[in-house]
Amino acid sequence: MGIVIIRQDEKIDSWKDAITRFDPNSKVYSYLEEHPGDEISMALIWKHPKGSLAKYPNLKCIASAGAGVDYIFADSTAPKNIPITRLVDPYLTSDMSEHVLAVILSELKNFNTYKLNQTKSYWKPKDYRRIKDVTVGIMGLGELGALTAADLTRVGFQVQGWSRSQKSISNVKTFSGTDSLSEFLNSTEILVCLLPLTPATEGILNASLFRQLPKGAYIINVARGGHLTDADLIAYLDNDHLSGACLDVYHQEPLPEEHPFWQHPKILMTPHYASVSDTNSVIPQILENYKRLQNGKPLLNEVDRKNGY
Ligand code: GLV
């Protein structure tokens, strides 16, 4: 039994070191080093190169090193008959909620506009908005969406949420299913996308959705770039139906230099870093699953392959 870590960023060694720190006896390898492929039972991955999972004949579990798993389903060569797990972690959840709150407050208090004005030495007061007067709509009420919604109510926002199946969260008006999407959108002034990316939600942030939001609505996409139809966002920012957008995720990451988002005055960009797995916090659940795998016990945070999340 062994664990292979597959990821293409510079964090691969720090993940390996963290696992060894928590369990000095574990057999853990970076996929870049020499390792016994037939001894690997768990692949701990993040945006792995497509095809790389097919090299392990005795793989028993694919563990995502993040909350999302869409990139695993996007690899048609990934084994189809073994469990996929994802991370559910208090920091991953609260970091997202803090990020969304920071974005919303900076928009209500016009910090984005003032930063632009500052680059032109342009003094121009602009009316700000109060928390109590603003309705935030959250699409996706899973772990991240539900906590973000609850936190925003505590700060004083009017909060509503939309999800595939009906959810109940204290002080949050909840909607579910495609039939209620219009009603949800019609009264959402700041839209936060925290949906899982599946064939049903791909491209959901598009012209038809933007049209149903009130004029002046603001978009925050902290889910996946695949949710957004880029050209529709630009069209609805340019025709002034939307007041702005803050994006953390993109179709291609890093976003190519020539992409129009970079220079758009109404778009605020962050580099897919709203909420990032903290190895000290998440490794215990990964090692717990590794132990469960060895003992044939049910795994924590297993993904429903049918739903895709
Ligand atoms: C980040 O995007 C994650 O899925 O954890």
CA of 133 to the centre of ligand 1 (A): 31
Cβ–Cβ < 8 Å for 223, 196: yes
CB atoms within 10 A of CB 98: 15
| Beta strand 61-64 pairing with 242-247 | unpaired
Cβ–Cβ < 8 Å for 219, 242: yes
The whole model's pTM is what?
0.97
2-88+277-295 shares its CATH topology with 90-269: yes
Q: What is d(CA 234, CA 260) in angstroms, rounded to the nearest whole number?
A: 8
Furthest-apart CA atoms within the chain: distance in Å = 66
pLDDT-flagged residues of the chain (< 70): none
* Ligand 1 atom nearest to CA at 272: 2
Q: What is d(CA 236, CA 244) in angstroms, rounded to the nearest whole number?
A: 9
Q: 2-88+277-295 sits in which CATH class?
A: alpha beta
Residue of 47, 275, 278, 286 to test ligand 1 pocket, by largest number of atoms within 8 Å of CB: 275
Q: Give per-residue pLDDT as tens, 31-54.
A: 999 999 999 999 999 999 999 999
pLDDT at 39: 97
Six-digit token pair at 40?
């690997």
Domain boundaries, the chain: 2-88+277-295, 90-269
Query: In the chain, what is the straight-line distance between the N-terminal and C-terminal CA atoms, in Å?
Result: 26
Six-digit token pair at 220?
């925050």
- The CATH code for residues 90-269 is 3.40.50.720
pLDDT at 43: 98
CA of 276 to the centre of ligand 1 (A): 7
Q: What is d(CA 93, CA 301) in angstroms, rounded to the nearest whole number?
A: 14
Ligand 1 interacting residues, C-beta cut-off 6 A: 66-68
* Ligand 1 atom nearest to CA at 68: 4
CA separation (Å) from 298 to 46, 290, 294?
22, 11, 11
